[in-house]
Amino acid sequence: MPLTISDLMSKMPGAFLPEKAPGLDAAIQFKFSGAEAGDWYAEIKDGKCVTAQGVHPSPKMTLTADSSDYVKIFTGELDGMAAFMQGKIKLAGDLNLAMKLTQMFKIR
């Protein structure tokens, strides 16, 4: 059964590598379009990651993507940087945070 956005967002806290994000205090907003359109966010603070459905009041970065593309990135089928270059992912806010995202989570 294919992964859903809900599956991915619920797995994010368990895939978080706190040693890769020392002292980070940030919220990341995810805006998904396509088959699983919706808003989610991840809060990284005090060495923990918590995810929730909805809109965060003050995200440090916003990632906008088609839900199926994001699932492919998370499962390693699609390279995140390539997806960004192709316009499949749009980022707003702290772009340095976006670069660190791939290192802060163990994918797969």
Helix ranges (H only) for the chain are 5-15, 67-74, 80-85, 95-104
- Dihedral, 10, 15, 18, 24 alpha carbons, nearest 10: -50
Cα 8 from Cα 41, distance rounded (Å): 12
pLDDT digits (tens, 9 = 90+) for 39-79: 999 999 999 999 999 999 999 999 999 999 999 988 889 98
Cα 108 from Cα 74, distance rounded (Å): 7
Query: Which tokens go with 25?
Result: 């205090």
Do the domain assignments include residue 20?
A: yes
Do the domain assignments include residue 33?
A: yes
Do the domain assignments include residue 40?
A: yes
Do the domain assignments include residue 107?
A: no
Do the domain assignments include residue 108?
A: no
CB 64 within 8 A of CB 39: no
- Quote the mean pLDDT of the chain: 92
| 62 burial level (CB within 10 Å; 0-12, 13-18, 19+) | buried
Total domains in the chain come to 1
pLDDT score, position 7: 93
Do the domain assignments include residue 104?
A: no
What are φ and ψ of residue 97, in 5° steps?
-65, -40
CB 56 within 8 A of CB 27: yes
Instruction: Assign residue 72 the CATH number of its domain.
Output: 3.30.1050.10
Does the pLDDT of residue 1 top 70, yes or no?
no
pLDDT score, position 101: 82
pLDDT score, position 99: 81
Do the domain assignments include residue 56?
A: yes
Range of the domain at 40: 5-99
Do the domain assignments include residue 105?
A: no
